[in-house]
Every structure is written in structure tokens, then in C-alpha cells.
């Protein structure tokens, strides 16, 4: 039964292929396509827009500096010490902190983590430069 179905499908496919017309492209098909592709590549320009603008980075940086300066010198500048009334013992006395308190890291592993972070921070500018060069050319 299976062979009969396969034979029928094979004969049907051969009949369809025999009756079909072979299409051929025009004489200058390749040149026409390549000229249209070159026109499209010239007209499309990729504009790089950063996710966070320079003004936003400046505002974030200034806000961070003001916060750090306030935390360092805030108690001396103001007479009311409302920051001292906050209870931060919840941060130091929690279950997660107690779980990780017994873990020790060897010096070699610590150096490896520092080296990895350093190499990661060095590679980012190189990769950024590499991908910018790829986009320009």
C-alpha cells in the first residue's frame, strides 16, 4: 500500500515537472539587481544614537556627586540629623548576610576575579572601536 502511494506521488511529480515551463531571467538581470542594491546601500545611512544622551549622563553624574558629598559632609552642614534617625541594622542583620559570612575566598581566586574584571573593562573600548570601524566601512 505504501509503495503504491509513493509510486503515485512520484509519477504525479514527474508529470508536473514535465508540463512546467522553465523561466529564464532577462538578459541584464544580474546588472539590474546589483544596481538596485548599490542604490539602496547608498541611500540607507545608519545613524548612531546613544541610549542615554550626554545631557542625561551629566545629570546622572552631578546627582551622584551631590549624593556622595551629602553623605560625606551632610551631618556637618545641617543641624538636624534626620539621616542618623534611620535604622540601617536591617541591612547588616539579615539571613542572606549570615549565610555568606562563612565563605572564604583564596587569594588566587580573588586575583583571578580582579584580573577578569580588569580585562573585561579593557576589552569594552576595543570592541566598541572594532564594531564602529565595521559600520563605517
pLDDT at residue 83, rounded to an integer: 61
Residue-wise pLDDT tens digits, 73-114: 765 555 556 566 666 776 677 667 677 777 888 999 999 999
pTM over 0.75: no
Q: Could you give the number of structural domains in the chain?
A: 1
Rounded Cα–Cα distance for residues 18 and 8 (Å): 15
Range of the domain at 16: 2-43
Residue-wise pLDDT tens digits, 5-37: 888 889 888 888 888 877 888 888 888 888 888
Asked if residue 31 is part of any domain, the answer here is yes
Instruction: Find the largest Cα–Cα distance for the chain.
Output: 98
Asked if residue 6 is part of any domain, the answer here is yes
pLDDT at residue 101, rounded to an integer: 74
Asked if residue 123 is part of any domain, the answer here is no
Asked if residue 60 is part of any domain, the answer here is no
Mean pLDDT computed over 52-65: 93
Rounded (10°) CA dihedral 72, 77, 79, 82: -40
Q: Which is more confident, 87 or 135?
A: 135
Asked if residue 93 is part of any domain, the answer here is no
Nine-digit cell string for 73: 559632609
Amino acid at each position: 500500500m505504501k509503495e503504491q502511494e509513493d509510486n503515485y506521488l512520484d509519477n504525479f511529480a514527474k508529470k508536473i515537472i514535465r508540463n512546467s515551463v522553465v523561466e529564464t531571467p532577462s538578459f541584464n538581470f544580474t546588472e539590474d539587481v546589483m544596481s538596485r542594491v548599490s542604490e539602496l546601500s547608498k541611500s540607507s545611512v545608519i545613524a548612531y544614537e546613544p541610549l542615554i544622551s550626554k545631557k542625561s549622563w551629566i545629570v546622572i553624574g552631578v546627582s551622584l556627586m551631590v549624593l556622595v558629598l551629602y553623605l560625606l559632609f551632610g551631618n556637618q552642614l545641617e543641624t538636624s540629623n534626620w539621616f542618623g534617625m534611620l535604622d540601617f541594622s536591617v541591612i547588616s542583620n539579615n539571613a542572606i548576610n549570615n549565610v555568606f559570612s562563612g565563605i572564604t575566598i583564596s587569594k588566587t581566586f580573588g586575583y583571578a576575579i580582579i584580573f577578569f574584571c580588569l580585562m573585561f573593562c579593557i576589552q569594552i573600548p576595543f570592541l566598541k572601536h572594532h564594531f564602529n570601524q565595521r559600520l563605517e566601512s
